[in-house]
Amino acid sequence: MPIGVSYMGTKRQLAQYVAATSSVTDDGPFLDLFAGICAASQAIGSTRPIWCNDAQTFSHNVASAFFCSQTGPSTVVDLTPKIAGFYEKNKSALTERFSDLLQDEQTALDQVSIANLEKCHATFPYFEDNLNTQKKRSALHRRPATFPYRLFSMTYAGTYLSLNQCLEIDSLRYALDRAKLERKIEQDDHRWACLALCEAIAKCSPTTGHFAQFLVPKESNKSRYFLLRKKSIWREWLKVISTYTPVGTASWRSENRAYCKDALELVARFRFLKSKPTFIYADPPYTDDQYSRYYHLYETLLHYDYPRTTAKARYREGRFNSAFSTKLKVRQSFEKMIGMTGELGSTLMISYPPNGLLKDSEIEIPKLLKQHFKKVNRVVKISHQHSSMGASKGIERHAVTEMLFLASQK
Ligand SMILES: C[S@@+](CC[C@H](N)C(=O)[O-])C[C@H]1O[C@@H](n2cnc3c(N)ncnc32)[C@H](O)[C@@H]1O
């Protein structure tokens, strides 16, 4: 089963068109250039080699796990005895450290009291609170394996998650790292488990499916908010991990690749390499909403690097900014991407809506394609449900018109 998180702009509906079109083109590697949660690659499956790329570490890990890992996740029965001792060790250390705060939080949650919970939130630790804690964060940034793990507890408690949930996340991450270090689990298992932890975070956080901002408790969301705050990350993690299965066979997956690069850099690099993709699917972002702002919690969980965080939403510093989501750079980015893929000789398929950040895309994309490819078609123009998930445009699911363009050299 694929990863069960909501992801902005994922192309579950369009994926079948991409798969059907690519199936009648030359064999060879299919490059999902802006893979997200790999909907198009999933639809294509093991019919040809799959190469996935995305600038976000989370997406890169999704691609690595589902398309490149040698084994699926171990069963819960195998995995839990290998990590339970480490988990308890970190959790006890943090529980001792934050015992009063945890007690107050539990009381407020039991009372279902917004006022008392907000009082707790105001007292929870945050690395950026003062110079002293900032220095501690910097030291941990240099030595992230320091015991006890406490990145989430000291960064997100009382925002996207409860303090207790943050303790569970830190302790699970500690347990997984220790188990890997002591060779009780392999790299593949570690990756599956970290992805499951991302999904457990999504299932426990009262957000609209992303982390651009956190919700505060109100009378209107009270019952859902308190319900989610009381959920156990550990229990959700156990439920999630057993749902994952990699795509195809291990020998097919060993031929696949997962990149974590800027799309333009990657395409530029292929010009000098012998092995090139034969089909490139480009599904760039359509709006000025930067993905790194929406999924920063997953990035931080996966990097576990004690980043400096800023703004009310506590975004990680130095997050990736896509030129495709930047008004002044989007046209130039399309020009570069189309020009360079034209040089590769690969078939290129682009999905984009008529009203995206690139102005007049319905005219401009085929115009650019015709400058660099011999044959250009618009494969389809359809309306489908797009998950903007309360992004800056404010609507959760709405119908968007999406176009698929196909360009080839023969
Ligand atoms: C519209 S989503 C792709 C959704 C994907 N097709 C799916 O079905 O899940 C765009 C993706 O492009 C990635 N992205 C944005 N700019 C990028 C860039 N310059 N290079 C690589 N990836 C980029 C984002 O992180 C995001 O995952």
pLDDT in tens, 47-60: 999 999 999 999 99
What is the whole-number distance in angstroms between the Cα of residue 193 and the centre of ligand 1? 23
31 beta partners: 51, 280
Q: Is the confidence at residue 199, as pLDDT, over 50?
A: yes
pLDDT of amino acid 381:
87
Determine contact, residues 257/28, Cβ cutoff 8 Å.
no
Residue 376 φ then ψ, to 5°: -135, 130
| Other beta carbons less than 10 A from residue 242's beta carbon | 16
Residue 59 CA to its chain's centroid (Å): 5
CB of 57 shorter than 6 A to ligand 1: no
Helix, strand, or coil here: 375? strand
Mean pLDDT of 12-41: 93
pLDDT in tens, 216-235: 999 999 999 999 999 999 99
Mean pLDDT of 130-134: 98
Type of residue numbered 349: M
CB of 400 shorter than 6 A to ligand 1: no
pLDDT in tens, 330-375: 999 999 999 999 999 999 999 999 999 999 999 999 999 999 999 9
What is the whole-number distance in angstroms between the Cα of residue 38 and the centre of ligand 1? 10
pLDDT in tens, 364-396: 999 999 999 999 998 788 886 665 555 444 445
Measured in Å, how far apart are the chain's first and last C-alpha atoms? 37
pTM of the prediction? 0.95
Helix, strand, or coil here: 281? strand
Mean pLDDT of 120-132: 97
Distance of alpha carbon 385 from alpha carbon 388, whole angstroms? 9
- The encoded tokens of residue 169 equal 């996340």
pLDDT of amino acid 397:
63
pLDDT of amino acid 392:
45
pLDDT of amino acid 152:
98
**Residue whose entry in the numeric block shows the structure tokens 């192309």:** 11
- Ligand 1 atom 5 nearest Cα: 36
Helix, strand, or coil here: 139? helix
pLDDT in tens, 267-289: 999 999 999 999 999 999 999 99
Mean pLDDT of 169-182: 98
CB of 334 shorter than 6 A to ligand 1: no
- The encoded tokens of residue 242 equal 């057993």
Q: Kindly list the strands in the beta sheet with 279-282, ordered across the sheet, starting from the edge strand earlier in the chain.
A: 257-259, 50-53, 30-32, 279-282, 347-352, 397-408, 375-387
- Ligand 1 atom 26 nearest Cα: 36
Mean pLDDT of 194-206: 97
Q: Is the confidence at residue 37, as pLDDT, over 50?
A: yes
CB of 62 shorter than 6 A to ligand 1: no
Q: Is the confidence at residue 197, as pLDDT, over 70?
A: yes
- Ligand 1 atom 7 nearest Cα: 10
pLDDT of amino acid 391:
46
Distance of alpha carbon 349 from alpha carbon 83, whole angstroms? 44
CA of 292, closest atom in ligand 1: 25
Least confident of 86-100, 156-170, 292-306, 388-402: 388-402
What is the whole-number distance in angstroms between the Cα of residue 154 and the centre of ligand 1? 30
- The encoded tokens of residue 364 equal 């401009």
